[in-house]
Amino acid sequence: MKNDSLYDLYLEHEGKVSDKWHSYLEIYDEQFASLRESPIRLLEIGIQNGGSLEIWSRYFPNGSLFVGCDIDPKCSGLRYDDDRIHVIIGDANTDETQNEIRQNSDMYDLIADDGSHRSSDIITTFSRYFSMVQPGGTYVIEDLHCSYWEAWQGGLNAPYSAMSFLRRLADVVNAEHWGDGGDIRSQLKGFERHWNLTLDEHHIALIQSVSFHNSVCIIRKSVSGPPRVGSRVVAGQERMVADDPLLRSGHEVGAIKLDLDKRLLGEAAVVDRPPSSMGEGANPWGAGAEPMEEVASTIGELRLAGYDPFKTSDFVSTIKDVRALYPEEQNPIPHLLDDAVMLRERAEVQATKISELQQVQGELIGDASKLRELTETQEKKISELRLSYERIARNPLLGFFLWLKFMVLSMLLRIPFLSSSSREKMRRSAEKRAPQRFRAKSETANSD
């Protein structure tokens, strides 16, 4: 069984369902063949039907632990005959679930992320679990094609997608050559802010290699310390083209003294210093410059605010004249970013004004609605009065009777033997029936 390829194991498998792209199986065979007899500890995030844990346990027959984590509660029903396999239910990006994973093991030799495939989850999961990769171990991310799709928080040029983040990690491998003004945390700050997470600079600095395959990224952790280019080994005796291969244009040897006698005797000379990257602090595209995903994000925000940075006259003129406006020895990128910030602030002011106008518009619409309701009410009352007058016009006797009733009520209100409460009731009744006439009579009586 130990000679069976991972693809062969998939073809032979009859247990729980597992779903992997064919190319993945070939990649894993190439990457993990040397580990097949090792007592590895494996963590897989996202196990679905659980078949992959069965196959991994056969692929690594001497493996000591196989832990699967899935957010789907249905996975709690998965059962295995192999005591090495454990299933944890929960969101891997919560403290509670991570602590439960740690209870099985603090460190893992192989961690595979086959979870939601959303960029935020991929980067957050990496920020949580790469520190749990054993030195010399491997971290795998699957289905990275999702990083190019908007529905999974991605896009080919999305500044904070999972692929953008992983490309940054490839730079970390060469961090010793960045030069002055650069540190890992500053180069990744945009991802921390955008996804609201904290990256462990110490463990990220231990990335030995980042290899990309179709939809898969494999990250190796160094066994001891950050990766270094190492000593430079110089061999041979004939120097027909370059008198000394270490003395290259742009490279500094500094205080290194070669044992030329050893070289002339045919012995290899070892130099414990890589090519110098001193002086890169003045490089406008060096480590001191703003990371490009930050610039891209600023441009994206301007576009969302209604500005096209490549059509807005202010921004275009700044780009055209930046070399003329700022000396060559200065880094023009911060100035460009200042202008971008200025435009963004201007856009925010305009957005605030628009919001205020929309609020006023809403209030005016509300007032208009109220006026419309009052108008409709008045029109209804006028219509009722018109109908009453038409009835009176058609029947003069009815009009006379109403007038007589009103006059009698008015006289009764002046009779002293009626109680004040009775007079008040009669007055209200009269006023209700003929409010305008009653008020006119009342005013006349009061004036008398």
Residue 156: pLDDT band with limits 50, 70, 90:
very high
Q: Mind listing the pLDDT tens digit for each residue in 352-390?
A: 888 888 888 888 888 888 888 888 888 888 887 777 777
Are 75 and 169 in the same domain? yes
Whole-number Å distance between alpha carbons of 327 and 282: 12
334 contacts 181 by C-beta, under 8 angstroms = no
Domain containing residue 434: 395-447
Q: Would you say residue 104 has pLDDT above 90?
A: yes
- Tell me the three state secondary structure of residue 253: coil
If one compares 142 and 185, the residue with the highest pLDDT of the two is 142
Q: Lowest-confidence range among 136-140, 365-369, 444-448? A: 444-448
Average pLDDT over residues 15-22: 95
Q: Would you say residue 267 has pLDDT above 90?
A: no
Are 350 and 387 in the same domain? yes
Average pLDDT over residues 388-415: 68
Q: Mind listing the pLDDT tens digit for each residue in 289-341?
A: 777 777 777 677 666 666 666 655 555 454 445 445 545 545 455 555 566 66
Q: Would you say residue 443 has pLDDT above 80?
A: no
Domain boundary among 181, 197, 221: 221
Q: What is the pTM of this model?
A: 0.65
Are 385 and 436 in the same domain? no
Shortest CA distance to 86 belongs to which of 131, 53, 135, 123? 53
CATH number at residue 90: 3.40.50.150
Average pLDDT over residues 263-283: 54
User: How many structural domains compose the chain?
Assistant: 3
Through-space distance between the first and last CA atoms of the chain, rounded to whole angstroms? 122
Are 194 and 343 in the same domain? no
Residue 266: pLDDT band with limits 50, 70, 90:
very low
16 contacts 65 by C-beta, under 8 angstroms = no
Q: Would you say residue 115 has pLDDT above 60?
A: yes
Q: Would you say residue 249 has pLDDT above 60?
A: no
Are 320 and 196 in the same domain? no
Whole-number Å distance between alpha carbons of 350 and 354: 6
Average pLDDT across the chain, whole number: 80
User: For position 378, what pLDDT does the model report?
Assistant: 83
Residue 408: pLDDT band with limits 50, 70, 90:
confident
Q: Would you say residue 260 has pLDDT above 50?
A: no
CB-count exposure of residue 162 (10 Å: 0-12, 13-18, 19+): buried
Are 205 and 304 in the same domain? no
The reply to whether 250 falls in a domain is no
If one compares 305 and 263, the residue with the highest pLDDT of the two is 305
Q: How many beta carbons lie within 10 A of that of residue 34, not counting itself? A: 7
Are 16 and 38 in the same domain? yes
Are 325 and 383 in the same domain? yes
Whole-number Å distance between alpha carbons of 110 and 316: 49
62 contacts 37 by C-beta, under 8 angstroms = yes
Whole-number Å distance between alpha carbons of 323 and 88: 57
Q: Would you say residue 176 has pLDDT above 50?
A: yes
Q: Mind listing the pLDDT tens digit for each residue in 418-431?
A: 556 666 766 677 66
Are 181 and 199 in the same domain? yes
Q: Would you say residue 435 has pLDDT above 70?
A: no
Are 314 and 389 in the same domain? yes
Whole-number Å distance between alpha carbons of 144 and 10: 22
Domain boundary among 349, 372, 393: 393
Average pLDDT over residues 92-120: 97
